[in-house]
Amino acid sequence: MGRIDDRLRELGITLPEPVRPVATYTRFVHDQETGRLLISGTGPVSGGPLGQVDSDVTVDEAIAAARECGLQILATVRDAVGDLDRVVRVVKVLGMVNSTATFGQQPAVINGCTDLFVEVFGPEVGLPTRSAVGMGGLPDRIPVEIEAEFKVR
């Protein structure tokens, strides 16, 4: 057990089984030469509310969905490299929020994911560059989809 596994236990977090692709893509690409690890867009899988934030889904429900995406991303990172202690840096997060045209709190929603990364790795490693954008729709009406890039050793 590594330092990050200890931290997860301390936070009471159990990572889910990583989701598997349901279409023509791979969940991750790991360039071992550069240490670059790209994680495909990840949505919530718990069966939470579907639809647009600000109309069908509350901000709090969307934040919870973004956190769930973050947990799935961490599970995929572990699957890709075997040990979360290999993460040197969370480099970039792109958060897409299925939201109404007038909704403007996309950054608050994506905090559900990036706050998790900071909790788990600390701000020196877990605080990424980030974009949080509104979308007119996402696959299967999910409220949030997040992709991420990590540097790993």
Mean pLDDT, 10 residues at a time, the chain of 153 residues: 94 96 95 98 94 98 98 98 98 98 98 98 98 97 98 97
Task: Supply the pLDDT for residue 48.
Answer: 93
Give the residue extent of every domain in the chain.
3-16+42-152
Three-class secondary structure of residue 9 per DSSP: helix
Using alpha carbons only, give the angle 6, 112, 143 rounded to the nearest 5 degrees.
Answer: 130
Task: Supply the pLDDT for residue 22.
Answer: 84
Contact 127, 89 (CB under 8 A): no
Task: Supply the pLDDT for residue 66.
Answer: 98
Task: Supply the pLDDT for residue 46.
Answer: 87
Domain 3-16+42-152 homologous superfamily, CATH: RutC-like (3.30.1330.40)
DSSP string, 64-96: HHHHHHHHHHHHHHHHHHS-GGGEEEEEEEEEE
Contact 125, 152 (CB under 8 A): no
Task: Supply the pLDDT for residue 84.
Answer: 98
DSSP string, 81-148: HS-GGGEEEEEEEEEEEEB-TT---HHHHHHHHHHHHHHHH-HHHH--EEEEEEES--GGG-SEEEEE
